[in-house]
Amino acid sequence: MTVAAESPGTPAPASSAPAPASSEAGPAVAVAPVAGPASLPSPAARVRSIGGSPVRDILAVTARPEVINFAGGLPAPELFDRAGVAAAFRHALEETPSQALQYATTEGEPSLRERLAARTAARGLPTTADDLLVTTGSQQALSLLATALVDPGDTVLVEAPCYLAALQVFGLAGARIVAVPGDADGPDPEALADLVVRERPKLLYTVPTFQNPTGRTLPTERRAAVAGVAARHGLWIVEDDPYGELRYDGERVPWIAAHPDARDRTILLGSFSKVMAPGLRLGWLRAPDEVRRACVVAKQAADLHTPTVNQLAAARYLTAFDLDAHVTRVAAVYRERRDAMLAGLPDALPAGSVWTRPEGGMFLWVRLPGSYDTTALLPRVVAQDVAYVPGAPFYAGEPDRSTLRLCFVTQTPDEIAEGLRRLRRGLTG
Residue 183 has pLDDT above 90, yes or no: yes
Helix 138-149 / helix 289-302 crossing angle, nearest 10 deg: 110
Percentage of the chain beyond pLDDT 90 is: 84
Residue-level pLDDT at 372: 97
pLDDT band per the 50, 70, 90 thresholds, residue 65:
confident
pLDDT, greater one: 52 or 147: 147
Residue 294 has pLDDT above 50, yes or no: yes
Residue 62 has pLDDT above 80, yes or no: no
Residue-level pLDDT at 64: 84
Mean pLDDT (the chain, rounded):
92
Residue 50 sits at the vertex; the CA angle it makes with 48 and 55, to the nearest 5 degrees, is 125
Decide: 182 and 191 in contact? Cβ < 8 Å. yes
Provide mean pLDDT across the span 228-251: 97
pLDDT band per the 50, 70, 90 thresholds, residue 31:
low
Residue-level pLDDT at 46: 80
pLDDT band per the 50, 70, 90 thresholds, residue 233:
very high
Where is average pLDDT lowest: 54-58, 65-69, 349-353?
A: 54-58
pLDDT, greater one: 209 or 20: 209
Provide mean pLDDT across the span 233-254: 97
Write the secondary structure of the chain as one string of H (helix), E (strand) and C (coil): CCCCCCCCCCCCCHHHCCCCEEECCEEEECCCCCCCCCCCCCCCHHHHHHCCCHHHHHHHHCCCCCCEECCCCCCCHHHCCHHHHHHHHHHHHHHCHHHHCCCCCCCCCHHHHHHHHHHHHHCCCCCCHHHEEEECCHHHHHHHHHHHHCCCCCEEEECCCCCHHHHHHHHHCCCEEEECCEECCEECHHHHHHHHHHHCCCEEEECCCCCCCCCCCCCHHHHHHHHHHHHHHCCEEEEECCCCCCECCCCCCCCHHHCCCCCCCEEEEEECCCCCCHHHCCEEEECCHHHHHHHHHHHHHHCCCCCHHHHHHHHHHHHHCCHHHHHHHHHHHHHHHHHHHHHHHHHHCCCCCEECCCCECCEEEEECCCCCCHHHHHHHHHCCCEECEECHHHCCCCCCCCEEEEECCCCCHHHHHHHHHHHHHHHHC
Residue-level pLDDT at 19: 46
Provide mean pLDDT across the span 250-255: 97
Residue-level pLDDT at 29: 61
Task: Provide CB contacts within 8 A for 221, sequence distance 6+.
Answer: none
Residue-level pLDDT at 6: 37
pLDDT, greater one: 6 or 258: 258
Phi then psi for 268, rounded to 5 degrees? -100, 130
Residue-level pLDDT at 32: 64
Render pLDDT for 329-362 as a digit per residue (tens, 0 to 9): 999 999 999 999 999 999 999 999 999 999 999 9
pLDDT band per the 50, 70, 90 thresholds, residue 51:
low
Residue 12 has pLDDT above 70, yes or no: no
Where is average pLDDT lowest: 11-25, 51-65, 128-142?
A: 11-25
Residue 9 has pLDDT above 70, yes or no: no
pLDDT band per the 50, 70, 90 thresholds, residue 53:
low
